[in-house]
Amino acid sequence: MVPYLAGGVILTDAPLHRRRRQTINPGFGKKHLETLRGRTQAALPPIPDGEFDALAWADGAVLSLLNGAYFGGEFDSHLLHSFLAPLRRPFPVPALPRPLLFLRVDAELRRLATRRLMAGGDDLLAVLAPIPGGLEEARVSLAAAHDTTTHALAYAVWHLANHPQWHAPPHHPAVLKETLRLHPPGWMGSRRLKCELDWNGVKLPRGTLALYAPYLSARDPQLWDAPQQFRPERWEHKPPAWAYLPFGGGERLCLGIHLAQMLILDVLSALPSLRAVRGDDSPVPGITLGPRGPLMVRRVS
């Protein structure tokens, strides 16, 4: 339904999926991402003085960070914004075809890829460009990364502004996990059943398409204590099995899990002390789950 995600490893079925995933995995692994870390840290825009909307700021920050990680900051920023902006809007806007825009984006991808094939490089496009179908993988994974990372970052900043006692780098991994538990951007997924299942008296045959909702399992009072509350201290212990699935699971675990975590944790470490001013953090489901906004915060001297 959504042309942004119509291609690449996301739509590759078994048994070809595993081989395709193994081909593109190295670029998104922790070892390679460490080589990009200095570049992405340098791409972080300044934190505004005074009062600002954390959601709008996160949108621009993630755009810049992904440009750095994928393209060394060389992708035309206005074109990149035009390409990704519809994903933030309600349906049916993200599903509308945009052939001319996609042609411009693909042309820019080819231009930058040709430069890397001739001169080399170490950004994500340099890794993907030599792979057959690699430019499609770059475009699709970029689209998948932007909104998910933006919404997770905005919610994390909002939580730190409301709970400043957790704003310290040693606490940030637990803050991010708790943020993703409460507000998983990928709020619904699907899998094919590998065997017949009896679900509360209903028999589902092998091959049935089953939907699962990380948002619901992460707020189930039978699995979590005080599930509606922001409690990063709960991550001192392992979560219940299969109750925490913000990145999916199994062989289709999110390709960009390490990239998203690295970018968000680096941003949180760079943030000054913040306080919440006002905002609407109620979740709005779309392609991803994000806050209605705005989320107004201010710097604390």
Q: Domain residues of the chain, as ranges? A: 3-186+230-299
pLDDT at res. 20: 94
119, with CB counted inside 10 A (0-12, 13-18, 19+), is exposed
Q: What tokens appear for 272 in the block? A: 């000054």
Whole-angstrom distance, CA of residue 172 vs CA of residue 126:
31
Average pLDDT of the segment spanning 283-291: 93
Residue 1 reports pLDDT greater than 80: no
pLDDT tens across 131-140, in order? 999 999 999 9
Average pLDDT of the segment spanning 14-33: 93
pLDDT tens across 118-134, in order? 999 999 999 999 999 99
Whole-angstrom distance, CA of residue 259 vs CA of residue 28:
7
Backbone angles phi, psi at 278, to 5 degrees: -165, 160
Average pLDDT of the segment spanning 145-163: 97
Average pLDDT of the segment spanning 80-98: 89
> Is the N-terminal amide bond of 15 cis, ω within 30° of 0?
yes
Q: Which residues of 141-175 are buried (b: 16+ CB within 10 A; e: fewer)?
A: bbbbbbbbbbbbbbbbbbbbbbbeebbeeebbebb
Average pLDDT of the segment spanning 43-70: 97
Q: Which residues of 189-209 are buried (b: 16+ CB within 10 A; e: fewer)?
A: beeeeeeeeeeeeeeeeeeee
Backbone angles phi, psi at 276, to 5 degrees: -75, 140
pLDDT at res. 149: 97
Percentage of the chain exceeding pLDDT 70: 100
Residue 141 reports pLDDT greater than 80: yes
User: pTM for the complete prediction?
Assistant: 0.95
Average pLDDT of the segment spanning 92-108: 93
Q: Per mean pLDDT, which range of 1-10, 46-55, 190-199, 215-224 is the poorest?
A: 1-10
Residue 301 reports pLDDT greater than 80: no
CATH superfamily of 3-186+230-299: Cytochrome P450 (1.10.630.10)
pLDDT at res. 13: 84
Residue 10 reports pLDDT greater than 90: no
Residue 92 reports pLDDT greater than 70: yes
Side-by-side strand order, sheet with 295-299: 51-53, 295-299, 274-279
Non-local (6+) Cβ contacts of 270 within 8 A are 41, 44, 47
pLDDT tens across 162-214, in order? 999 999 999 999 999 999 999 999 999 888 899 999 989 999 999 999 999 99
pLDDT at res. 131: 96
Residue 93 reports pLDDT greater than 90: no
Closest by CA position to 135, among listed 66, 70, 39, 82: 70
pLDDT tens across 227-238, in order? 999 999 999 999
* Dihedral sign from CA coordinates of 229, 231, 235, 238: negative
CA-angle at 284, arms to 282 and 287, nearest 5°: 150
231, with CB counted inside 10 A (0-12, 13-18, 19+), is middle
Find out whether 175 and 156 touch, Cβ atoms under 8 Å.
yes
Q: What tokens appear for 17 in the block? A: 């999926």
Average pLDDT of the segment spanning 16-39: 94
Q: How confident is the model at residue 11 (pLDDT cuts 50, 70, 90)?
A: confident
pLDDT at res. 42: 95
Q: How confident is the model at residue 289 (pLDDT cuts 50, 70, 90)?
A: very high
Which residue has tokens 């996160």? 58
